Structure 1
Amino acid sequence: MQKYFRCILLLILFSACKGGKELSKISQKQIVMLRPNPLEMHGGQVRGQLQIKLPAEMQKKMLSYEAQVIFNAQNFTGEILQVSLEKNILQKDTSFAFWYSPQIEYGEILLKAKIRQKKGKTYETPYFTIGRGIITTASLFQHSPEPPLHFYPFETENLLQQGISIFFDANSSHLSEIEKRKLQSVQEPVRVIGFFSPEGKENQNFKLAQKRAEAVKAFLSARKVPVYIQLLSFEEWKKCLQSLLDENLQKQIEPLASIQPIVEVLEKNENQSIYAPMRVVKIVPEKEEKIAPNDTLSWLNKWQNQAEQSPNALVHHQIGTWYAQMFFKNKSQEYFQKAGNHLQTAINLGAKGETYYNYALLLRKQNKIQKSDSLLKIASQKNFTDTTLVQWLNEWQGLQKVKEAISVKDSRYQEALRFFQKSGKNPQSIFNQGLIYLLTYQYDKASQLFEQIQDFSLALYARAIVGMRKGNEQECLEWLAKSFQKDKKLKNKAQKDMEFWQVRENAIMK
């Protein structure tokens, strides 16, 4: 009896081994195709397709087929996907996507299958390689350094830089509708200076000039614009006279030796229209030359005083920006809160793009990237006076498009290219344009751009990629050697980079 049971056990084991060997041979005939191969990262993700074809013999043996696909690197192992095929289904195409860190470029794509047989037994294949590594060239896009916080200068590039002239009728301080429309553009703190024409008594003229200045101040103050009235003496008025005369008036009374003859000519001239340019209030920027540029507390105190008198978007922008600068220096949460409150108030009052940028930069220092990006997105739609910020925001928008691209055919790469082309001539911008051409197989255009920035080590590295992709190993190695001379850290990167798999054993890479 004991011999009988021993024979049955041996027969079972023999059958199991025979079944396992059979399935092992059959499973070796399965076809697994990974596309693209090697896989390529775009926008922080890796996307691809897996096709599995099982041999016809498998249909007779299996009840189900399950495959597990993993990415296996030196210090990382992660599952990519699982694929299941039920009985009578011998082929399956599956798309997949997973987030990926470019720090682990070197590794293998492995597949292991589990086959459940009709007799209830299960056979597992060992892991076998279906792809090597992941190309991460799309992770090379470069950020330019963030521009510093933007403080509005008092002499901005607008009408205030030359001064705005608000004209009045003779012997009148009434502000007409035409002149009110001129004042709509005034937002920065200003000085207003009332002038008068020489007819009439001097003391009455000075009173009239003050009334005109006060009429302008009342209109601007109602719009929350800080206004300071500057009164002139008669001597100061004479000195300013010539700047108030337009070109045609000057031609009528030339040649003139001094200010006093001008007054005499005007007093004797019967053509009253010649007085019109003098019945004016001049609006000029409020100067801040008395405070040293780095005297943070004095500037802050000055703007806080102005906020009490005439709070507007500009005043809150400046206060918030000074607090932000103080926060950058000592990381005080009190300064962070005050900076954020004032910048948000400025935004609520209709601030320009610079305020959104400053607030976004403040939030970035606290690693609040999502909210910062939201503000930068709004800022990119606003008006700016600082062209450096406009260029940086174009680059930022290009990088956002790059992050969204999912393949080399994605139209967002072309959108990004247009933004990079508007972001100035700095090395990062030129490199980013070249990298888009490289990723989209336009190698000649890429090389032309990289050639412009040969002092930029990554441009040399990228030219090595172009050489490798074009099948020119010698050119690739020459550019790699030059890039290593510029930046020794690039050698370690190249050793793990799937772009250079075929030349990894070359002496240059050692």
Structure 2
Amino acid sequence: MLSLLVIFAVGCKDPLAEMAKIMEQQQLTVEPNPLELHGGNVGFTLSAKLPVKMMKKGITYGLEVDYVSGDITKFTKGKDGNKPDGVTKAGVIELEGDKYAGGTEEPKVSKKMNFAYEDKHEQGFVIITGVASKGKKSKRFGPIGVMSAGNPVVGVATTSRLVRNPVDGISNAAGKSPFAYAQDGWTKESDKTTSYNINFEQGSARVTATTGDNKNTIDLAKATFKAMASQFAKVDNIPEFKANGASSHSPEGRVAINQNLPGQRSSAVGNQMKMMMKAFDYGKKVKKFDFQFDNKTLEATWPEFKTLVQGSSLNEDQKTEVVGIVDGSGGFVEKEKKLQGLAYYNTMMDEIYPKMRYAKMDITVPGQAKTKADMENMLDKIVKGEEPADKLTETEFLYMAANNPNYTNRVKWLEKAVTKYDTWKVNNNLGAAYLDVALLTKDNSYVDKALASFEKAKGKKESGEIYYNMGMAYLMKGDNAKAEESFKKAVEIGAGDNPAMTGLLNGIKGYYAIQQATSRDDGKYKEAYELLASAASTVPNYFNKGLAYLLEANDYEQAKASFNAAAKMNDKDATTFYALAVVAARQGNEGELTQNLKKAVELKSDLKAKALKDAEFFKYKTKASFMDAIK
């Protein structure tokens, strides 16, 4: 906000000159002060308050507002309205005397003005030329430089150009990558239960491969134990099993034998399983296994017997008769004798009784048996060529790489993974790992490797992760056009089911929203800081959030908080401290301005020259504290 007094001297004795004589002064205000660059535009509002008796009927009064590039000290107040060469037009205010003549209130008018910014405009000043006209006759006054509190209004604040692209200032030194890794899909597996059923000959508790389907069951159990054991680097890492089982007997035979037979059969199955475990190096854990069996004897076998009857080939009358015997009066032996007297007893002996001579075991394996140590040990062997890549699943490769802070390891592991799992996720994550190594080591040869991986990934599936990473890679190569093209594609595709992508894309959206702003109040800065509030935690995202608040000029404390968050992440970032100095200048806090500007210049000496010509600091440039900060 500036108030200024403009006096146009007129020495003519004509109607226009008479108007000028009674025009003692006109008051003008300009917002903002200093002028500010937003996007490619310098916009401001000029308000004029004119003396009540200045305007006469039939006379039109105008103010031509221009910006002059160059040194204000070389400007000389003009006469007859002759402007210096190379002025840039900003706007014109016109007032009709007929509208205001005879009024009692001072005429007031405001108008928004702007001009397209060029680099030559950073240093310059505003001039005003007055024009009074009546019919075909007119007179021009000035131009003069606009003054504010005795100082010329000079320069354009280019603070909006501090906006930082998503690569500017990022770091992965703490082990957190700023690039987009596809979700690995790794989750803790649910407990897995497998049932093993062994059938026995009549009256026997001996396990034989030739009975029923025992051979297939035994082979399946062996293969399962062998496959599981081979996944673990150490015997001690093999998970403990919990085994529950049941055993039974068929109704025929002596009671004394049947009472003991289920227990004997369950022990036989348990011993068979233990033998398999020992054969595949489970010995150290076998004693901790929990084997629990429900040994069904005599009357306890009837419920299962009746179920088998219902599923047999007996007709409905026969089934009813059998169930009637079982549910009728008498003891176990008496009921068995009645069954033996049935004409279709042999059918039951063939179809039902053999199914009662069993022992079964349900073995539960805890989910996700492999530990990170197991998988890392296997990865080491795979990298050395001691084991093939298929010893780990794609999900396990992706999970281990994404959660390892050593980016070189990520590259080594994923380079092996892609030989077996040539998927979009593996290729994308390998490219992201290459970018992490490039960022950490400053070896840009890895950027080209990354782009090659992203091209392969894109050929398999287009995803937001791939295009985001391509945008980052192109920025690292300095190709802003291709970077913008890739980022737009990433935003178009979206985050999908990857929550981390939402934060990365919000950072991109916020960055472009700042660039699209054309004024303080067009809504773009608000859009930007709202997006950046949920963006990934990176220096450029925190910085841009603070910059959006600063450029909107409504909440400098929020701007300061965001800049401080960026400084906390990287206390060697000169641009962040420079921005904090700008905030302090706008708040009139000379102490914080000096402190932050001094820190910025110490970290990056080039900022001294910028500060000297920065319109943000114009009113401080003659102060000793400012000069001390940039010395």
Correspondence for 1:70: 66
Whole-angstrom CA distance in 1 between matches of 2:233 and 2:454: 46
Deviates more, 1:487-496 or 1:237-246: 237-246
Matched, 1:371 2:500: no
Identify if the C-alpha distance between structure 1 residues 480 and 126 changes in structure 2 by more than 3 Å, giving closer, same or farther: same
Contact 2:170 2:540 in 1 (8 A): no
1:200 to 214, 235, 245: 214
Matched, 1:356 2:352: no
Whole-angstrom CA distance in 2 between matches of 1:238 and 1:504: 70
Contact 1:69 1:110 in 2 (8 A): yes
Contact 1:163 1:283 in 2 (8 A): no
Q: 1:357: how far off?
A: 1.4
Identify if the C-alpha distance between structure 1 residues 112 and 167 changes in structure 2 by more than 3 Å, giving closer, same or farther: farther
SS, match of residue 610 in structure 2: helix
Deviations 1:127-155 (A, max 9, x none): 2334443344444444444678958699x
2:383 to 282, 286, 289: 289
Task: Give the alignment's TM-score, normalised by structure 1.
Answer: 0.60
Deviations 1:431-457 (A, max 9, x none): 555556654344498379649646543
Whole-angstrom CA distance in 2 between matches of 1:472 and 1:207: 78
Contact 1:149 1:321 in 2 (8 A): no
2:143 to 105, 124, 127: 127
SS, match of residue 382 in structure 1: coil
Correspondence for 2:260: none
Q: 1:74: how far off?
A: 2.1
Q: 1:329: how far off?
A: 3.9
Correspondence for 2:316: none
Contact 1:166 1:282 in 2 (8 A): no
Contact 1:357 1:379 in 2 (8 A): no
Letter paired with 2:508: W
Contact 1:38 1:133 in 2 (8 A): yes
1:502 to 607, 619, 624: 619
Whole-angstrom CA distance in 2 between matches of 1:53 and 1:305: 78
> When the two structures are aligned, how many residues end up with a matched partner?
431
Correspondence for 1:108: 125
Q: 1:84: how far off?
A: 4.6
Identify if the C-alpha distance between structure 1 residues 103 and 158 changes in structure 2 by more than 3 Å, giving closer, same or farther: farther
Q: 1:265: how far off?
A: 11
Correspondence for 1:446: 560
Whole-angstrom CA distance in 2 between matches of 1:504 and 1:26: 39
Q: 1:501: how far off?
A: 1.8
Matched, 1:51 2:47: yes
* Match runs of 1:322-401 below 5 Å: 329=445, 342-348=456-462, 351=463, 353-362=464-473, 364=475, 365=477, 366=479, 367-378=481-492, 381-384=495-498, 392-401=504-513
Q: 1:245: how far off?
A: 5.6
Whole-angstrom CA distance in 1 between matches of 2:518 and 2:362: 69
Identify if the C-alpha distance between structure 1 residues 28 and 136 changes in structure 2 by more than 3 Å, giving closer, same or farther: farther
Deviations 1:387-420 (A, max 9, x none): 5x66554443443444455666676655544554
The structure whose Rg is larger is 2
SS, match of residue 98 in structure 2: coil
Letter paired with 1:111: I
SS, match of residue 446 in structure 1: helix
* Match runs of 1:415-454 below 5 Å: 416-417=528-529, 419-423=531-535, 428=540, 430-432=542-544, 435=547, 439-443=553-557, 446=560, 450=564, 453=568
Where does the alignment leave 5 or more consecutive residues of structure 1 unmatched? 1-14, 172-198, 211-230
Whole-angstrom CA distance in 1 between matches of 2:621 and 2:496: 49
* Match runs of 1:121-200 below 5 Å: 121-130=137-146, 131-143=153-165, 144-145=168-169, 156=184, 158-159=186-187, 200=214
Identify if the C-alpha distance between structure 1 residues 239 and 471 changes in structure 2 by more than 3 Å, giving closer, same or farther: closer
Contact 2:128 2:145 in 1 (8 A): yes
CA RMSD of aligned residues (A): 5.8
Identify if the C-alpha distance between structure 1 residues 343 and 31 changes in structure 2 by more than 3 Å, giving closer, same or farther: farther
Q: 1:335: how far off?
A: 10
Deviations 1:311-369 (A, max 9, x none): x543664698799999x74999x997x76764544444xx4x42231233355554235
Where does the alignment leave 5 or more consecutive residues of structure 2 unmatched? 1-10, 72-85, 101-107, 147-152, 172-176, 198-212, 245-269, 295-358, 386-406, 439-443
Letter paired with 1:122: S
Whole-angstrom CA distance in 1 between matches of 2:285 and 2:70: 88
Aligned-pair identity in percent equals 20
